[in-house]
Amino acid sequence: MDKVVEIRDLSYNYPDGTPALNEVSLDVMERESIGIIGPNGAGKSTLLLHLNGILQSKNGAIRILDMPLTDTNLRKIRSKVCLVFQDPEDQLFMPTVFDDVAFGLVNLGYDAETVREKVEKILERVDLSGRGNRSAHHLSFGEKKLVSLATALVMEPEILLLDEPTSNLDRKERREIMRFLEEIDKTKIIVSHDLEMVEQLCKRIVVMNRGKVIFSGGKEILKDDEKLKGFGL
């Protein structure tokens, strides 16, 4: 099994000087499903934002699919590593659902017919057929989450990054999202406070606190209440 993500000694401070990541090192293998958990402010989402270059640090190094994450490789890496934000409003900005899902493909230069076929196929896959002409802002929150997921899946990424994919969903919407994620046979890195979802979908658990990785191992850790409390959970 190949290593698809390699993070070494990654540190990052927010513009106001607040430390967010502190010498984080982590390896991710091909088709591995990893759940990153930890208290608020642990650096989980900040780490995700580094993995497709939305945030970049001069302190430490990241390799994605055996490519250093640099400006030279950024376009290619972003075609292989797709991020689904916690809030769909941060991801959906085009006039229609079709346009949102097509956005990445259009920017990669696909012809109109190929874009149409790929978008229709992925909307069907997430049970949103017939919604393409609607504005995402007129959909339910759960539907918006599915459109956000579709914008990533349509790119056929090798690595899928998900920030709190089940947050603010009702029970039915949560089950639907979990079912879709379980069916995706790709490398998945999931940041979440939903420990039940993480246990179901992930094979390895990474715990972060105060910008550091303090645990990486099997999901049996989720049954150890004392250790979780010690981790700030």
Instruction: Give residue-wise pLDDT tens across range 46-103.
Output: 999 999 999 999 999 999 999 999 999 999 999 899 999 999 999 999 999 999 999 9
The answer to whether the beta carbons of residues 149 and 101 sit under 8 Å apart is no
Q: CA dihedral defined by 86, 87, 89, 91, rounded to 10 degrees?
A: 0
Nearest-angstrom CA–CA distance, 42 and 24? 12
Amino acid at 81: V
Q: Which tokens belong to 129?
A: 């057929």
Amino acid letter, 174: R
Closest alpha carbon to 94 in 129, 128, 132, 120: 132
For residue range 117-140, what is the model confidence (pLDDT) as tens digits?
Answer: 999 999 999 999 988 999 998 999
Q: Specify the pLDDT at position 1.
A: 65
Spatial CB neighbours of 230, under 8 Å, sequence gap ≥ 6: none
Taking residues 204-210, report their average pLDDT.
95
Domain ranges for the chain, please list them. Answer: 3-230
Query: How many beta carbons lie within 10 A of that of residue 4, not counting itself?
Result: 22
Please give the Cα distance from 23 to 10 (Å, whole number): 5
CATH class of 3-230: alpha beta
Gyration radius (Cα) of the chain, Å: 18
